[in-house]
């Protein structure tokens, strides 16, 4: 099955809603395993990150109800 950035972003929303929090490191590993490596890239700091397309759709879907914690590297339901 082929997945889209919408599928991944939708999964992220459900994870944050269910658990209240989603750590980036967990999200990266689970996205790789569930949806494939094409939604992950290595950022300028040399760390694996979630594709910009997925994050853009994720932001649209949550409409401000999820906040990024820069110090903890996680998203939290607000």
Segments making up each domain of the chain, as ranges: 5-77
pLDDT beyond 90 at 44: yes
pLDDT at position 1 is: 80
Is residue 77 scored above 90 in pLDDT? yes
Supply the pLDDT for residue 74.
Answer: 97
Whether the CB-CB separation of 46 and 52 falls below 8 Å is answered with no
pTM: 0.94
**Topology (CATH) of 5-77:** Arc Repressor Mutant, subunit A (1.10.10)
Contacts of 72 (CB under 8 A, 6+ apart): 23
Beta bridge partners of 76: 21, 67
Average pLDDT rounded to a whole number, residues 45-68: 96
Contact 62, 55 (CB under 8 A): no
pLDDT at 60: 97
Q: Are 61 and 9 in contact (CB under 8 A)?
A: yes
Q: Per residue in 16-36, pLDDT tens?
A: 999 999 999 999 999 999 999
């Amino acid at each position: 099955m082929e997945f889209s950035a919408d599928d991944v972003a939708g999964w992220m929303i459900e994870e944050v809603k269910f658990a209240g929090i989603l750590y980036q490191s967990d999200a990266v590993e689970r996205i790789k395993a569930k949806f494939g490596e094409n939604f992950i890239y290595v950022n300028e700091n040399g760390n694996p990150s979630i594709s910009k397309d997925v994050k853009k759709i994720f932001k649209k879907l949550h409409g401000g109800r999820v906040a990024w914690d820069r110090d903890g590297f996680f998203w939290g339901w607000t």
